[in-house]
Amino acid sequence: MSNKKSVFEVLSAVDVSTHVKSKGNLTYLSWAWAWGEVAKRYPDANYSIYRNIDTNLPYDFVEGTGYMCYTTVTIEGKSLQMWLPVIDFKNKSILSNATTFDINKTLMRCLTKNVAMHGLGHYIYAGEDLPEPTKVASPQNLDLGTAPKPKSIALDIGDDEMYVVLQKMVEYRDQGHSFNKIVMGLQKKYEFNTKTTKYLRDAYNG
């Protein structure tokens, strides 16, 4: 059996704490630093930016809903996609007249979160301060963040927390835990409605 660490194990062990930036209640990493850390460890890694098939613009736009940007990061043959809405200085979706600066900033933030799906800095989205130690996870005692949180957090598709939960769920699934057991563990911190439960089940089965 190979002892080679997975991409997620390698990148999630990187301490990003000295490179974290905050704006309001949102936490960011420098995209240039984040990509540099990936490239140092995986020189063949690459990313792509989605372009709308009709407009060739790097975003989708729906009147009254706003703009959405997408990126895909591929490391050692595994591709993961991330999406992010274009927001204003109040962290609210821009519903019209987004500037090229708004779009560019969102794409770089999206790329950074995309890298987090592969492991680098994923714990900052869970409100943690340091990378997790290597351990066998138990779905009854999910370590999804040590920062103080409300007793129960309502999750919705597209929430920052949802990205963390998805990643954790896939980890526990790959360790052999059933969907129901994983959800039981998650429900100690999160509330799920019918839509989010179906979303998680689809991801589990995917």
Domain boundaries, the chain: 1-134, 141-206
Q: Model-level pTM?
A: 0.60
Alpha carbon 122 to chain centroid distance?
Answer: 7
pLDDT at site 144? 44
Closest CA to 113 of 179, 149, 166: 166
Contact at 8 Å (CB) between 75 and 45? Answer: yes
State residue 114's pLDDT score. Answer: 92
Least confident piece of the model among 50-54, 67-71, 91-95, 123-127: 123-127
Cα distances from 136 to residues 36, 101, 133, 146, 151, in angstroms, run 29, 43, 10, 18, 25
Residue 160 has pLDDT above 50, yes or no: yes
Residue 55, pLDDT > 70, answer yes
Cα 140 to Cα 164: distance, rounded to the nearest angstrom: 17
